[in-house]
Structure 1
Amino acid sequence: MLNKSCFDSISSGKFEDDVTEDALFYLFKYLKDYHKNKCIVLIDEYNYPLDIAYQYQYYEKARDFFASLFEAFLKDNNENLEKVLLIGVSCITKSGYLLGLNNLIVFPMYNKEFANYFRFTEDEIFIFLQYNDKEGTLEAH
């Protein structure tokens, strides 16, 4: 079903049932075909929607949605995807909605190899502490 009418349906947001389920898969296929390269996907703060869902008591429904969303375009899409980078603060292996995926590599912020690439500024730390009523707990070094 890879044709212009399918792409137009996806880009317009007027999905038909047979297009909706595979829309992201087709999008990456179209991008790869057009650019002659596999896609690299960057998803920042992947865990934020689930944090909100947890606060408002619809976590299970949101987790199921994101599990199906990520599985729809990440699993068995090696032909169209080069790499996917998910950035967030929750441990991805314990989040529960990526259990159907394999070949995950976790790069934690606290790993010395990556410590210079993932850090907060002094101002950001102060804001975090202030927000949590802990501003007096940071010792100057």
Structure 2
Amino acid sequence: MDDLVYLKVSPMKGVMRFCMKGKHSPRYIVPYRIYKREGCVAYELELPQELAAVYLVFHLSMLKMCLGDPSLIVRTEDIGIMKNLSYEKILVQILNHQVCKLRTKEVVSVNVLWRNQFVKEATWEVKEDMKKRYPHLFEYGENAD
């Protein structure tokens, strides 16, 4: 078989995975290839070596069909996932900036593109925080703001 399916995961209560907690934590992980069908509602998957301790056959309710483009899937090795299942965000480019006017002050934000993300997934971050973490990006053009 050549079909890909996502595998459903159940987070442990109170444990954060991939820097998300609660309803925003991932429900399904990396798509895996179906090796063969076992009966009417069970499938055997081709799992990587790091999941060798996991039983290979899963009920249909634990799987979700992968309908997307497999070329857009980011491999866990490419992200550099650590043992606690978190990863370090690496800034690629600052796309834009904006000034948010509050009642008593103004907050300058920058639109940041992170590694392994698309432009539409860029996030708005406070400029002062980004200056502390990445001072080399703000050395030139300070008077332009």
Structures share fold, TM-score greater than 0.5: no
Structure number with the higher strand fraction is 2
Q: Tell me the TM-score normalized by structure 1.
A: 0.24
Q: TM-score, normalised by structure 2?
A: 0.24
Based on CA coordinates, which of the two structures has the bigger radius of gyration?
Answer: 2
Q: Which has the higher contact order (CA 8 A, sep 6+)?
A: 1
